[in-house]
């Protein structure tokens, strides 16, 4: 009961103190990582061709599968936002399952989906392809664990669009697809962009699922683990610092792009 009688100034100070502790918890490990990495080691890592390939693979595959997932995720998000049907709660639960799965379990699930014993794997085998250990496997693993972020963010965006605008457009003769493309999607664009950014960021940071379906070719999270496991902390730290810097820059660029589009 004592806390309920705190005045505004005391409450503000308590909130600032608690917020500062949490921010310190986030910043301290990263600051320690950066301070313990020398510039010569960082520049040497930048010139490392294995690191360059892993970063290119990580960013490229995550971006490609994020865009591919959008073609399927946005219609589903719109249905979840606009339609009421039996089993809707069950479908929402299915969408959220990859978020709560242990990453190793997600990797095993994806491995079973693309292995040579599966229908998809047998089809690929007929064409002379082995999906396991390929960029395709990496992309599937990334998309599996990250697509709920896109669906949920887009769904919230579509829910915020007034239905009366869509109904007015339909009353004027617009087709459902035209209403979606010219009214619903543009108005929900900030949330859709946020979902795409979150999915892309989550995908490129994935380790547990990816390492099960494709240890090689190495994404950067797998490369960091491999160097730590083989050579120790000093050898893995510069790669981790470089990848964190790239992730921050990419994330900031995408956020700024989304903000500029929102202002327009």
Q: Domains in the chain, ordered, with CATH?
A: 37-263 (1.10.3720.10)
Q: Any alpha helices (H) in the chain, and if so which ranges?
A: 8-35, 39-46, 49-82, 88-100, 103-114, 119-126, 135-159, 163-171, 176-179, 185-187, 189-204, 208-213, 220-231, 233-263
Stretch 208-216: mean pLDDT: 95
Q: What pLDDT digit, counting tens, does each position of 30-78 carry?
A: 999 999 998 999 999 999 999 999 999 999 999 999 999 999 999 999 9
- Output the DSSP codes for 38-58: -HHHHHHHHT-HHHHHHHHHH
CA distance 181 to 195: 18
Better-scored residue on pLDDT, 14 or 210: 210
Q: Taking 50 as the threshold, does the pLDDT of residue 262 lie above it? A: yes
Torsion angle (degrees, nearest 10) of CA 48, 53, 56, 59? -100
DSSP state of 109: H
Question: By C-alpha distance, which of 19, 168, 150, 145 is closest to 75?
Answer: 150
Stretch 240-251: mean pLDDT: 90
Q: Taking 60 as the threshold, does the pLDDT of residue 156 lie above it? A: yes
Stretch 112-135: mean pLDDT: 90
Better-scored residue on pLDDT, 173 or 19: 19
Confidence of residue 116 (pLDDT cuts 50, 70, 90): confident
What is residue 172's predicted lDDT score, i.e. its pLDDT? 86
Confidence of residue 264 (pLDDT cuts 50, 70, 90): low
Confidence of residue 1 (pLDDT cuts 50, 70, 90): very low
Confidence of residue 260 (pLDDT cuts 50, 70, 90): low
Average pLDDT, the chain: 90
Q: Taking 60 as the threshold, does the pLDDT of residue 2 lie above it? A: no
Q: Taking 50 as the threshold, does the pLDDT of residue 229 lie above it? A: yes
Q: Taking 80 as the threshold, does the pLDDT of residue 122 lie above it? A: yes
């Amino acid at each position: 009961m004592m806390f309920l009688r705190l005045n505004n100034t005391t409450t503000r100070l308590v909130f600032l103190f608690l917020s500062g502790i949490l921010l310190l918890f986030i910043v301290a490990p990263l600051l320690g990582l950066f301070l313990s990495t020398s510039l010569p080691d960082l520049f040497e890592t930048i010139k490392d061709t294995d690191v360059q390939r892993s970063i290119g693979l990580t960013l490229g595959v995550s971006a490609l599968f994020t865009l591919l997932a959008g073609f399927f995720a946005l219609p589903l998000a719109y249905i979840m936002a606009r339609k009421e049907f039996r089993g809707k709660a069950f479908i929402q639960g299915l969408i959220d399952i990859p978020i709560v799965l242990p990453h190793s379990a997600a990797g095993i699930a994806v491995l079973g989906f693309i292995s040579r014993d599966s229908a998809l794997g047998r089809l690929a085998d007929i064409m002379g392809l082995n999906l396991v250990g390929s960029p395709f496997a990496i992309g599937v693993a990334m998309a599996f664990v990250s697509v709920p972020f896109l669906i949920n963010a887009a769904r919230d965006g579509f829910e915020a669009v007034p239905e009366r605008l869509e109904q007015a457009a339909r009353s004027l003769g617009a087709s459902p697809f035209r209403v979606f493309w010219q009214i619903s999607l543009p108005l929900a664009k900030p949330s859709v962009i946020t979902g795409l950014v979150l999915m892309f960021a989550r995908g490129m940071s994935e380790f547990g699922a990816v390492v099960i379906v494709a240890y090689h070719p190495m994404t950067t999270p797998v490369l960091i683990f491999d160097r730590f496991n083989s050579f120790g902390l000093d050898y893995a730290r510069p790669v981790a610092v470089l990848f964190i810097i790239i992730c921050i820059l990419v994330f900031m660029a995408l956020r700024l792009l989304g903000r500029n589009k929102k202002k327009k």
